[in-house]
Structure 1
Amino acid sequence: MKEKQFWEIISQMHHIEEPYDWVINELSQKTETEIAQFEIQFEKAYMKAYNSNLWGAAYVIMGGCSDDSFDYFRGWLIGQGEEVYYKTIKNPDYLAEYILPIYEQEDLVPELEEMLDLALQAYTVKKTGDIEWNDKIWNDFNNIVEGLGYHYPKVDIEFDWKDVNDLKERFPKLWKRFGENPLG
């Protein structure tokens, strides 16, 4: 599965009432290799978003951002689709314009943990018929992904900002909107 096909699936899920179930079902109908290729495309986007600049933006938006929260934030960002993803990677301050006011109105946060294991769940459904966690299935899936040449990187992040004053200066639009009233 090429990057374009990955983003097409993400785009299609925006028009579905139960988007995560839909993606899992769609992927489970594909070959094991195609499911693994979806995972690889997801991981590439996910790791590209693992940077100090984006973490700083998430910190401003949510008034702080733990490791787990940043994982879910990156899942949310990918779930917004290709255009929003790349605009945000280029300029995280863009999210001040993009995040709808309903987030404040409904006390929502830009996090989507459900995005993180769509391919694994699809593979599990393909192999077992349900989405129950299974260590053997995960190991099998991981072996397929690695067999395609992808290895999950172990990366550390070095922050290039020290405190909220740095973030206030770096992200003026985000700070104006969320600095005093973060989401969550």
Structure 2
Amino acid sequence: MDLDVFWALLDESAYATSEQGERTSWLVSRLSSLPAGDICGFETLLSASRGRVNTFSHWHAAYVLCDGLCSADRFFGFQSWVIGLGRTVLASVASCPDALAEVPAVRTLLAVGAESWPDAAWPVWDGLAGVAREAFFAATGRSLDNALAILGHVPVTDAGPFDGEVWDLDSPAEAAVRLPRLWKLSGGLEEAA
């Protein structure tokens, strides 16, 4: 599976469905009709895409967006959510976590505030992590993890570990300096005043 097909599948899943559960099922169904090698390719590309937003800076951005309610598990789901927003959004956010402030879905979430989000509105897509595994089993009756191991690929199953500097995620000063646009949108500047 090449990168264009990977992104086309994700884009089609967004257009063909109205909510995440349906989107997850749509992807499983579509992937399970493909050759096993393509399903492995999807998982490999998903892991690579996730790696682009698997930094402490990205976790900090998710933490600010989620008003401090972003555990490592939720951050893993957040990475999938960012991927689900599309190739352009992923590229922008991968290069600068503060670019989340320009994403319409993020602006909508921040306008409402995390305390008002229903469960379905949280910026996570937990189901994406299992799509290729389900599809591979449906197509072959075998484990995707075994197939990936034979190919020398270790699937990403959680967030981290992080290389480099870490800081206090709860620090308003760190957020204001490291994520100025996102921090301002989240109301952080008013809180600090």
Fold shared, TM-score > 0.5 on shorter chain: yes
The normalised TM-score by structure 2 is: 0.79
Q: 2:94 corresponds to which letter in structure 1?
A: I
Q: 2:91 corresponds to which letter in structure 1?
A: Y
Gaps of 5+ in 1: 129-136
User: How far 1:91 moved relative to its partner?
Assistant: 1.3
Further displaced range: 161-170 or 73-82? 161-170
**Cα distance in 2, alignment partners of residues 48 and 25 from structure 1:** 26
Query: Does the alignment pair 1:75 with 2:83?
Result: no
User: How far 1:102 moved relative to its partner?
Assistant: 4.1
Further displaced range: 100-109 or 119-128? 100-109
- Percent of pairs with identical residues: 26
Aligned residue among 148, 153, 167 for 1:150: 153
Alignment map for 1:130-149 (pairs within 5 Å): 137=142, 140-149=143-152
Post-superposition CA distance 1:79-124 (Å, at most 9, x none): 1111000100111212112143543446132111111111011112
**Cα distance in 2, alignment partners of residues 85 and 177 from structure 1:** 20
- 2:132·2:144 contact (CA, 8 Å) conserved in 1? no
**Cα distance in 2, alignment partners of residues 89 and 19 from structure 1:** 23
**Cα distance in 1, alignment partners of residues 138 and 37 from structure 2:** 15
**Cα distance in 1, alignment partners of residues 39 and 12 from structure 2:** 16
Further displaced range: 80-89 or 45-54? 45-54
User: Relative to structure 1, is the Cα distance of residues 52 and 120 closer, same or farther in structure 2, using a 3 angstrom cutoff?
Assistant: same
- 2:80·2:125 contact (CA, 8 Å) conserved in 1? yes
- 1:52·1:157 contact (CA, 8 Å) conserved in 2? yes
Q: 1:79 corresponds to which letter in structure 2?
A: G
**Cα distance in 1, alignment partners of residues 15 and 56 from structure 2:** 32
Aligned residue among 170, 178, 182 for 1:174: 182
Q: 1:68 corresponds to which letter in structure 2?
A: D
**Cα distance in 2, alignment partners of residues 40 and 85 from structure 1:** 16
- 1:24·1:118 contact (CA, 8 Å) conserved in 2? yes
Match of 1:7? 7
Aligned residue among 28, 32, 40 for 2:32: 28
Structure 1 runs (4+) deviating above 4 angstroms are: none
Match of 2:167? 161
**Cα distance in 2, alignment partners of residues 99 and 60 from structure 1:** 16
Q: 1:160 corresponds to which letter in structure 2?
A: V
**Cα distance in 1, alignment partners of residues 149 and 4 from structure 2:** 21
Q: 1:170 corresponds to which letter in structure 2?
A: R
- 1:88·1:95 contact (CA, 8 Å) conserved in 2? yes
User: How far 1:127 moved relative to its partner?
Assistant: 3.8
Aligned pair count?
171
- 2:44·2:155 contact (CA, 8 Å) conserved in 1? no
Q: 3-state DSSP class of the match of 2:15? A: coil
How well do the aligned residues superpose, as a CA RMSD in angstroms? 2.2
**Cα distance in 1, alignment partners of residues 46 and 150 from structure 2:** 17
